[in-house]
């Protein structure tokens, strides 16, 4: 059995990644590390093959910033570490950029320190297309494009990428980076556009669309992204960065209308509110490097979007559990109230 440590596994992408690896391999043991912050919940791992505690999976509650815990874990010998753990919501970074530095930068540095000390054979950093800043679909960024992060979330991820590359150079760590476009799918915390708007439509509330809604995102189905992660982990080269995109650029207004149509609701629910400060109008990447490793996005956007929206309809219990839990969180319990008060 090969031993992997994966962080951020009680969140959206992390839980899908654990599910993907366990169901596509039979010689991997995963240790899951997650601090169960506002967006992480053990319920997200309940469906994985074998369950949360099995011969091939164990769960540890804790932070990637905790030196002692990370040392304790990695001193047992690991073949690889995939770091999914991160603060990911742009709107939250306006209020608490320090959480993003702590989790996304200091946490990564702590992992890199331990990877070096305990000679972990492989490290993969999950990053984002947002590090390149705004780029239109006809001028997609390759991996060598300059980094021009446009918000504090993106700058924290860009900083982390720089630390990973420096660790490869100066500490001889066998690391790669993967930068994905906007992921979507089941179990995404209902602060991101698709689950948030679905929840609003289902409760008959308006959808707060920033500005004129003409901004675009390239929507990548989470299962396609997890397949890309696994390919880069196994076949990616040391020090290399790999973009993963989907070719699904869609304007936010258009996406909102599609969601309304899936749910049979009226377009009067669209409410144009004050724009997000420094709102990047579009992100766009080339992923030919990843194609050469044998990856291509497979999901049909319309079908995957419909399935995703329907998943949130059918899993109202999940939404309630995940939101109820996060009400205990000192920052989370005021976020929606405060943020959308400023954006209406």
> x-or-dash pattern for ligand TYD, window 186-205, by CB under 6 A?
------xx--x---------
Counting every residue written for the chain, the total comes to 344
DSSP code of residue 104: I
Task: Between 4 and 255, name the residue whose CB sits nearer to ligand TYD.
Answer: 255
Rule CB under 6 A: choose which of 94, 99, 210, 311 binds ligand TYD.
210
Residue 95 known to be catalytic: no
User: How are beta strands 216-218 and 80-83 bridged, if at all?
Assistant: unpaired
Distance in Å, CB of 30 to ligand TYD, minimum: 27
Query: How far, in whole angstroms, is CA 267 from its chain's centroid?
Result: 29
Provide the mask over 50-89, with x wherever binding to ligand TYD is found by CB under 6 A and - wherever it is not.
----------------------------------------
**Residue 207 CB, nearest approach to ligand TYD (Å):** 7
SS3 225: helix
Distance CA 312, CA 315 (A): 5
Report if residue 269 touches ligand TYD, rule: CB under 6 A. no
Asked if 90 touches ligand TYD (CB under 6 A), the answer is yes
The C-alpha atoms of residue 1 and residue 28 are separated, in whole angstroms, by 5
Using CB under 6 A, pick the residue from 125, 156, 182, 308 that binds ligand TYD. Answer: 182
Nearer to ligand TYD by Cβ, of 163 and 210: the residue is 210
Of residues 217, 223, 227, 289, which one binds ligand TYD by CB under 6 A? 217
Kindly give, in sequence order, each residue whose CB lies less than 8 Å from that of residue 127, ignoring residues fewer than 6 positions away.
Answer: 157, 160, 161, 177, 178, 179, 180, 241
Rounded to a whole number of angstroms, the distance between the first and last alpha carbons of the chain is 53
Q: How far is the CB of 101 from ligand TYD (least distance, A)?
A: 18
Q: Which residues contact 227 (CB under 8 A, 6 or more apart)?
A: 20, 295, 298
In the complex with ligand TYD, the residue whose CB is nearer, 56 or 329, is 329
Q: Is 129 a catalytic residue?
A: yes
153 tagged catalytic: yes
Segment near ligand TYD (CB under 6 A); pick from 49-57, 102-110, 208-216, 319-327: 208-216
Instruction: State the Cα–Cα distance between residues 108 and 157, nearest whole angstrom.
Output: 10
Helix (H, G, I), strand (E, B), or coil: what is residue 55? coil
Continuous segment of H or E residues that includes residue 22? helix 12-24
Q: Give catalytic residues, as residue numbers.
A: 129-130, 153
In the complex, the residues that contact ligand TYD under the rule CB under 6 A are 90, 182, 192-193, 196, 208-210, 215, 217, 252, 276
């Amino acid at each position: 059995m090969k031993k992997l440590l994966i962080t951020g596994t009680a969140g959206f992408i992390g839980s899908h990644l654990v599910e993907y690896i366990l169901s596509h391999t039979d010689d991997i043991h995963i240790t899951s590390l997650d601090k169960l912050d506002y967006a992480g919940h053990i319920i997200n791992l309940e469906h994985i093959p074998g369950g949360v505690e099995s011969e091939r999976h164990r769960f540890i509650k804790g932070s990637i910033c905790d030196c002692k815990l990370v040392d304790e874990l990695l001193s047992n010998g690991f073949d690889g570490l995939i770091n999914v753990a991160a603060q990911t919501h742009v709107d939250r970074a306006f209020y608490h950029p320090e959480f993003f530095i702590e989790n996304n930068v200091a946490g990564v540095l702590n992992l890199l320190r331990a990877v070096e000390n305990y000679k972990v054979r492989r490290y993969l950093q999950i990053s984002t297309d947002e590090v390149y800043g705004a780029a239109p679909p006809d001028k997609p960024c390759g991996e060598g494009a300059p980094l021009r992060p446009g918000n504090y979330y993106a700058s924290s991820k860009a900083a982390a990428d720089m630390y990973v590359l420096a660790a490869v150079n100066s500490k001889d760590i066998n690391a790669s980076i993967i930068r994905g476009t906007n992921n979507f799918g089941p179990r995404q915390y209902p602060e991101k556009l698709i689950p948030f708007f679905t929840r609003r439509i289902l409760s008959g509330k308006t959808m707060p669309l920033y500005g004129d809604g003409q901004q675009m995102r390239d929507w990548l189905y989470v299962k396609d992204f997890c397949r890309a992660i696994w390919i880069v982990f196994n076949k990616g080269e040391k020090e290399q960065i790999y973009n993963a995109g989907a070719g699904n650029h869609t304007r936010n207004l258009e996406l909102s209308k599609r969601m309304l149509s899936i749910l049979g609701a009226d377009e009067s629910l669209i409410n144009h509110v004050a724009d997000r400060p420094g709102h990047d109008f579009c992100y766009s990447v080339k992923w030919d490097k990843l194609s050469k490793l044998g990856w291509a996005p497979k999901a049909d956007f319309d079908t995957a979007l419909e399935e995703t929206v329907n998943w949130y309809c059918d899993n109202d219990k999940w939404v309630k559990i995940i939101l109820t839990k996060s009400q205990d969180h000192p920052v989370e319990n005021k976020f929606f109230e405060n943020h959308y008060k400023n954006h209406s």
